Amino acid sequence: MIFAPASISCIFSPQIREDPRESGSVGVGFTINLGAFAEKSDELIINGKKTSFPTVEHVLKKFGMKGVNIRTQLPFGCGFGMSAASAISTSLLSNRSFIECADVAHEAEVLNLTGLGDVTNITFGGLIVRKTAACPSRVILSRFKLDVTLDFLILGEIPTREFLKERARDVQKEGLIWTKEFLKNPRLENLFYCSVNFAKNTGLIEEVEDVVEAVVSSGGMASMVMLGKSVFAYKGFEALKEFGEPFRAKIDCCGVRHVESGCNSMQDR
């Protein structure tokens, strides 16, 4: 069985080119110890149901696999990179080289417009700054380890495909600006500062602005999960409870892996 941690994007700047392996996003994101589990199967099954999912089907076809059984701990479409987690966990079941599997999963995400930088985050784990937009074997990045538990609240979906088609250019400039700003001081406080300003300057914050303000007013830090109607926060659990049912998760620094090996997320929880 393969476990792929969820990926939360805080800042991103889409960079789409003809070659999907030279496409992706510059930006900042991190992985947490909740995600997706994948096992071999003769059919494509996600959360107990036979289904069609072009991103995963691209991986299956590429490696000549019949199917996969995927179980996710978080919903699709809410900013937690579940499509990327599904793609890369499926890919690793092929028993091909690790980096080839990561590149194919990235390619599947870009071609189907279900994500741009999540596969890179999941491949390496931890807090990732993607300095170039490319597949995992070609990307230039900085990686940081943070031992911290964060609070999360999911309010709904924002369709990644539609956004990337309609508004990608609107966030390119701001994404580059705030990625560079974060690199000047790669600490937790600056992560929230840069992320929330990116969300404000692109207008995305409107989706969750009242929630973010409530956390800040209570003495915590909060920002928007990209790209979903979701919030991540530090010391914000009680404030988030006013808007729904929050949950906590730790930053995961191990990346995608076989759950039987060393860093087993099932034991971490």
* Same domain, residue pair 241 and 259: no
Region 125-143 average pLDDT: 98
Distance CA 127, CA 155 (A): 24
Percentage of residues in the chain with pLDDT exceeding 90?
A: 88
Q: Are residues 51 and 134 in the same domain?
A: yes
For residue 260, the model assigns a pLDDT of: 76
pLDDT band per the 50, 70, 90 thresholds, residue 161 = low
Please check whether residue 269 lies inside any domain of the structure.
no
Helix 54-63, helix 82-92: angle, nearest 10: 10
Contact yes or no for 60/83 (Cβ under 8 A)? no
Q: Is 167 exposed, middle or buried (0-12, 13-18, 19+ CB in 10 A)?
A: middle
**Same domain, yes or no, for 74 and 205?**
no
Q: What is the pLDDT of residue 165?
A: 63
Output the pLDDT for position 25: 95
Residue 24: domain span: 2-145+250-263
| Rounded Cα gap, residues 127 and 170, in angstroms | 25
What is residue 203's three-state secondary structure?
A: coil
Per-residue pLDDT, 269: 30
Q: In this structure, are 163 and 121 located in the same domain?
A: no
- Among 31, 51, 55, CA closest to 43: 51
- Residue 203 domain-assigned? yes
The residue-averaged pLDDT of 70-88 equals 97
pLDDT at 201: 92
Mean pLDDT of 232-254: 98
Residues 108 and 184 in one domain: no
Q: What integer pLDDT is reported at residue 158 of this predicted model?
A: 80
The Cα–Cα gap between 233 and 150 comes to 6
11 lies in the same domain as 110: yes
Whether 25 and 153 map to the same domain: the answer is no
Where does residue 83 rank: exposed (0-12), middle (13-18), buried (19+ CB within 10 A)?
A: buried
Same domain, 13 and 141: yes
Residues 80 and 172 in one domain: no
Tell me the per-residue pLDDT of 182-226, one tens digit each, with 9 for 90 and over. Answer: 999 999 999 999 999 999 998 899 989 999 999 999 999 999 999
In terms of domains, do 245 and 259 share one? Answer: no
Assess whether pLDDT exceeds 50 at residue 140. Answer: yes
Residue 36 dihedral angles phi and psi, to the nearest 5°: -130, 140
